[in-house]
């Protein structure tokens, strides 16, 4: 049985409460791209520790006396997102191996574009020190200037280029 | 007072908290429909504005909640992590993410949530994300300088715009409600038969919209907790119905010379006044820092008398009342403030005649002046004691 999605305003209110709980209890908000960064750092450190320690980018996270990058707040939080998303899909009957995309592109093209989009998001999130969750949403909730700048840049560029990529979605 | 990291919640326990918050986060994202790339991309094509609705409602809810909790003294906003601004990198990064959103159909958080229910395109998105971060890390020396450029620190948006926090909160709420209204009209036009907003109960939505706009108006007129409490304790009626223990300059001088353990002198004057003249063993505290939780370790020991010092009687009294109002116990104020202490003890006018009592007092003050001046001179060589500590909470992506 497939159930309907929640009213978006109600879902937004609950999402806001989750974010508020994170701020109130831990003093920091939500995030996502930081977990991907931690995975990359742990992988590079595991495969080539000398390279990781010398690197300008990874160097400050690895080496003697540093915790495993995977033992971080953001990695545990994202593990929770996997569990929470799965539970929600389970009770709403939405667990299914499937790919989604616009009516005019093949599944294989959709995969390639998804990977390219993911790579761009990963790169952009490094420059902006966070993605839609960590920089934009949390940043807006704590009234950080960076949060509003990042949010406007993401959606601004999205709207400017949407026309050129319309075949992917409509 | 929140946040409870790092004092009440240890690093280990915080990881469990992270897992629980993540579960709630993932659950809500999935229930909202954020596990569907077609829905997510719809915000850019006008056929589905779910993203905008959820995103703005969440931001407004969390912001409003934080402001209210701070106003009632349950949350120390100064201890909450504010992601710092690197202006140009934030814009460039945001633009790149905009491309990523359109091309990939997800953002990192939603891709994890979508992958959890089996969306294969989301798994490709995550794989791409890992490769993207890896490529960024390997090529990092090329743009290291740019990455660190235009660093402005943890600035707040209302300061950047030069308006008050409350006014900004109202504007954000008004913009959100305006955007909800307009996008609902667009969505229904773009998508005549299957727009998600066709199922909305309009009356309920209008009432909710009016409600949060009223909350926004309230924010404009809501003073900060500091302004509110300071005004409260300075009012005549508060002074008439509340009292605070008063310590005379002679009493304080005696305790300072005696190096009594149970006394903590809390100097509320400006840092430059404090560095010019600081009583032995005193700490400098700024009024605005009283409202956070950073000073709790210094102020919350009930066995220690906190002797509050301002420049004069009124300043001392306001600060001492504020400490009591904030729930700290065993508070006292120095009679007449530091001005009085200077006249009475440090530079006493010695009268040679008078009763036996007057002569004794004069002798005590003369000796105290020498001793305490010597103690102040000795302490000058040391590092001045500033009570405010560095922030400990780490955050960000």
Q: How far is CA A134 from the centre of its chain?
A: 8
> CA B189, CA B47: separation in Å to the nearest integer?
9
Q: CB A85 to CB B30 under 8 A? A: yes
CA-based nearest distance A145→chain B, Å: 4
CA-based nearest distance B323→chain A, Å: 23
Answer for the pair B38, B51: CB distance below 8 angstroms, yes or no. Answer: no
Q: CB B59 to CB A145 under 8 A? A: no
Residue A64 pLDDT greater than 80, yes or no:
no
A 113-132: CB under 8 A from B? 113-132
Q: CB A88 to CB B27 under 8 A? A: yes
Report chain B residues whose CB lies below 8 A from the CB of A42: none
Report chain B residues whose CB lies below 8 A from the CB of A48: none
Q: CB A9 to CB B57 under 8 A? A: yes
Closest CA in chain A for residue B209? A9
| Cβ atoms within 10 Å of B78's Cβ, excluding its own | 15
| Cβ atoms within 10 Å of A108's Cβ, excluding its own | 9
What does the pLDDT read at residue A1?
A: 43
What are the tens digits of pLDDT across the range A1-25? Answer: 456 899 999 999 999 999 999 999 9
What does the pLDDT read at residue A76?
A: 96
pLDDT in single tens digits along all 397 residues of chain B: 889 987 888 888 999 999 999 999 999 999 999 999 998 999 999 889 999 999 999 999 999 999 999 999 899 998 899 999 999 999 999 999 999 999 999 999 999 999 999 999 999 999 999 999 999 999 999 999 999 999 999 999 999 999 999 999 999 999 999 999 999 998 888 877 777 888 788 899 999 999 999 999 999 999 888 888 998 999 989 988 999 999 999 999 888 888 888 899 999 999 888 888 888 888 899 888 888 887 888 888 888 999 999 999 999 999 999 999 988 999 999 999 999 988 888 887 766 667 788 888 888 888 888 888 888 888 776 655 565 555 556 665 5
Spatial CB neighbours of A135, under 8 Å, sequence gap ≥ 6: A125, A128, A129, A146, A147, A150, A151, B83, B90, B93, B94, B397
Question: What mean pLDDT, rounded, does chain A reach?
Answer: 93
CA-based nearest distance A60→chain B, Å: 12
> CA B27, CA A83: separation in Å to the nearest integer?
8
Closest CA in chain A for residue B149? A127
Q: CB A76 to CB B18 under 8 A? A: yes
Q: CB A119 to CB B135 under 8 A? A: yes
DSSP structure class, residue A163: G
Report chain A residues whose CB lies below 8 A from the CB of B82: 139, 142-144
Average pLDDT over residues A118-130: 96
B45 touches chain A (CB under 8 A): yes
> CA B101, CA A169: separation in Å to the nearest integer?
12
A 55-84: CB under 8 A from B? 55-58, 71, 73-74, 76-84
Q: CB B103 to CB A120 under 8 A? A: yes
- Reading the block at residue B104, the tokens are 């990939």
> CA A101, CA B42: separation in Å to the nearest integer?
11
Spatial CB neighbours of A61, under 8 Å, sequence gap ≥ 6: A41, A45, A69
A38 touches chain B (CB under 8 A): no
Q: CB A100 to CB B105 under 8 A? A: yes
- Reading the block at residue B189, the tokens are 């036009």
Distances (CA, A) of A68 to A33, A38, A45, A60, B9: 17, 9, 9, 12, 20
Positive/negative CA dihedral, B279, B285, B287, B291 = negative
Q: CB A96 to CB B42 under 8 A? A: no
> CA A90, CA A94: separation in Å to the nearest integer?
6
Q: CB A77 to CB B21 under 8 A? A: yes
Q: CB B69 to CB A170 under 8 A? A: no
Closest CA in chain A for residue B58? A16
B106 touches chain A (CB under 8 A): yes
pTM exceeds 0.90: no
Spatial CA neighbour of A134 closest among A17, A16, A34, A40: A34
B205 touches chain A (CB under 8 A): yes
Domains of chain A, by residue range, sit at 97-170
Return the exposure string of B201-233: e unless at least 16 CB atoms fall within 10 Å of the residue's CB, then b: eeeebeebbeebbebbeebeebebbeeebbeeb
CA-based nearest distance A68→chain B, Å: 13
3-state secondary structure chain B: CECCCCCCCCHHHHHHHHHHHHHHHHHHHHHHCCCCHHHHHHHHHCCCCHHHHHHHHHHHHHHHHHHHHHHCCCECHHHCCCCCEEHHHHHHHHHHHHHHHHHHCCCHHHHHHHHHCCEHHHHHHHHHHHHHHHHHHHCHHHHHHHHCCCEEECCEHHHHHCCCHHHHHHHHHHHHHHHHHHHHHHHHHHCCCCCHHHHCCHHHHHHHHHHHHHHHHHHHHCCCHHHHHHHHHHCHHHHHHCCCEEECHHHHHHHHHCCCCCEEEEECCCHHHHHHCCCCCCEECCHHHHHCCCCHHHHCCCCCEEEEECCCHHHHHHHHHHHHHCCCCCEEEECCHHHHHHHHHHCCCCCCCCCHHHHHHHHHHHHHHHHHHHHHHHHHCCCCCECCCCCCCCCCC
Q: CB A89 to CB B35 under 8 A? A: yes
> CA A134, CA B92: separation in Å to the nearest integer?
16
Cis peptide leading into B3, omega within 30 of 0?
Answer: yes
């Amino acid at each position: 049985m497939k159930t309907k999605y929640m009213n978006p305003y109600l879902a937004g209110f609950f999402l806001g409460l989750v974010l508020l709980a994170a701020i109130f209890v831990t003093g920091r908000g939500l995030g996502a791209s930081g977990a991907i960064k931690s995975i990359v750092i742990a992988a590079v450190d595991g495969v080539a520790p000398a390279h990781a320690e010398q690197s300008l980018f990874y160097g400050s996270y690895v080496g003697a006396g540093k915790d495993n990058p995977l033992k971080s707040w953001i990695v545990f939080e994202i593990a929770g997102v996997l569990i929470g998303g799965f539970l929600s899909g389970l009770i709403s009957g939405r667990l299914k191996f499937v790919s989604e995309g616009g009516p005019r592109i093949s599944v294989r093209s959709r995969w390639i574009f998804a990977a390219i989009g993911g790579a761009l998001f990963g790169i952009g999130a490094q420059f902006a020190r966070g993605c839609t969750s960590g920089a934009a949403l949390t940043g807006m909730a704590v009234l950080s200037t960076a949060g509003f700048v990042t949010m406007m840049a993401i959606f601004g560029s999205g709207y400017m280029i949407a026309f050129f990529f319309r075949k992917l979605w409509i | 007072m929140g946040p409870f990291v790092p004092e009440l919640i240890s690093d280990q326990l915080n990881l469990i908290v992270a897992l629980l918050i993540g579960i709630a986060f993932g659950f809500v994202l999935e229930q909202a429909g954020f596990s569907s790339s077609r829905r997510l991309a719809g915000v850019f094509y006008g056929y589905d504005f779910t993203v905008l609705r959820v995103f703005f409602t969440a931001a407004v809810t969390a912001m409003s909640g934080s402001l209210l909790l701070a106003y009632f003294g349950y949350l120390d906003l100064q201890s909450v992590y504010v992601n710092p601004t690197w202006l140009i990198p934030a814009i460039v990064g945001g633009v790149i993410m905009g491309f990523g959103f359109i091309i990939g159909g997800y953002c990192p958080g939603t891709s994890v949530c979508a992958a959890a229910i089996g969306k294969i395109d989301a798994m490709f998105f995550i794989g791409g994300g890992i490769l993207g971060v890896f490529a960024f890390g390997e090529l990092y020396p090329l743009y290291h300088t740019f990455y660190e450029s235009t660093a402005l620190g943890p600035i707040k948006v209302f300061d950047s715009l030069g308006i008050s926090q409350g006014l900004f909160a109202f504007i954000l709420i008004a913009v959100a409600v305006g955007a909800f209204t307009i996008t609902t009209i667009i969505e229904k036009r773009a998508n005549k038969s299957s727009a998600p907003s066709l199922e909305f109960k309009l009356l309920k939505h209008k009432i909710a919209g009016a409600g949060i706009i009223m909350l926004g108006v309230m924010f404009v007129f809501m003073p900060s907790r500091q302004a509110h409490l300071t005004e409260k304790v300075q009012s005549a009626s508060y002074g008439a119905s509340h009292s605070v223990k008063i310590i005379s300059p002679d009493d304080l001088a005696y305790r300072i010379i005696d190096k009594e353990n149970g006394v903590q002198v809390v100097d509320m004057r400006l840092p430059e006044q404090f560095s010019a003249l600081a009583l032995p063993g005193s700490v400098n505290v700024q009024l605005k820092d009283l409202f956070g939780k950073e000073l709790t370790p210094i102020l919350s020991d009930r066995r220690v008398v906190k002797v509050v010092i301002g420049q004069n009687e009124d300043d001392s009294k306001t600060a001492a009342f504020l400490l009591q109002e904030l729930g700290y116990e065993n508070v006292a104020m120095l009679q007449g403030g530091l001005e009085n202490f200077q006249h009475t003890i440090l530079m006493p006018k010695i009268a040679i005649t008078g009763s036996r009592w007057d002569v004794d007092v004069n002798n005590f003050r003369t000796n105290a002046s020498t001793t305490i001046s010597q103690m102040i001179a000795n302490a000058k060589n040391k590092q001045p004691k500033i009570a405010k500590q560095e922030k400990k909470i780490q955050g960000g992506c």
